[in-house]
A and B are shown apart, each in its own frame.
Chain A
Amino acid sequence: AQSVTQLDSQVPVFEEAPVELRCNYSSSVSVYLFWYVQYPNQGLQLLLKYLSGSTLVKGINGFEAEFNKSQTSFHLRKPSVHISDTAEYFCAVSYGGATNKLIFGTGTLLAVQP
């Protein structure tokens, strides 16, 4: 079955430190990958996406992610985090096709401490 794994349920980090949030997905021929951020009691906001082309994708708020097909990973990184980055981050994958469903990982809470 298609799945997305976010191994870290919570990542504590100090302000201005770098961070990496991990995401792995089950293999498929074609895949579209997304990272979303969710602030408390709000919907999801797209951070970045990989559809094709360059494997290094840059998104909003200084985030970037790298698509690694051989490792079936799409880890999210930021070189220097801010308090305002504290939120829940979801990795999601779409395997394309007419239904275009998104399968979400379990989420990672990024907790930035001063």
Chain B
Amino acid sequence: GAVVSQHPSRVICKSGTSVKIECRSLDFQATTMFWYRQFPKQSLMLMATSNEGSKATYEQGVEKDKFLINHASLTLSTLTVTSAHPEDSSFYICSAPRGLAYNEQFFGPGTRLTVL
């Protein structure tokens, strides 16, 4: 089946630094990828839609200057959390759609970000 990877799986950083998270589709091309954020014991909240070759589409309330998304190729999207603060600590998950009419999404294993 389709595989989506994320790197790193876990990252701890100091407040004020920037952190980059990679999302890769390993055996298929993805012109679109999605970035989600999940707080402990809560559901996944869609942050933005990453579009290959064009700007990302952000959901309402998500700061685009805070969460920079770059979809540089058909298999790679990156999320950079800029000037991270403790409130940015969360579980970040990406997904890529595939299949007939792109109705099925394949999820990465997630990245646990802890900002001290």
Contact = CB atoms under 8 A, between A and B. Distances in A.
B34 interface: yes
Size category of the binding interface on chain A: 20 to 34
Given A100-B102, A100-B103, A101-B49, A43 B43 contact: no
Size category of the binding interface on chain B: 20 to 34
Nearest to B5: A43
Contact of A90 (B43, B46, B100, B112): B43
Contacts of B69: none
A46 B112 contact: no
Contacts of B93: 43-44
Contacts of A90: 43-44
B103 A43 contact: no
20 contacts: A36-B107, A41-B112, A42-B110, A43-B107, A43-B108, A43-B109, A44-B44, A44-B95, A45-B107, A46-B106, A49-B103, A51-B100, A99-B57, A100-B97, A100-B103, A101-B49, A102-B105, A103-B46, A106-B42, A107-B43
Interface of A: 32, 34, 36, 41-46, 49, 51, 90, 94, 96, 99-107
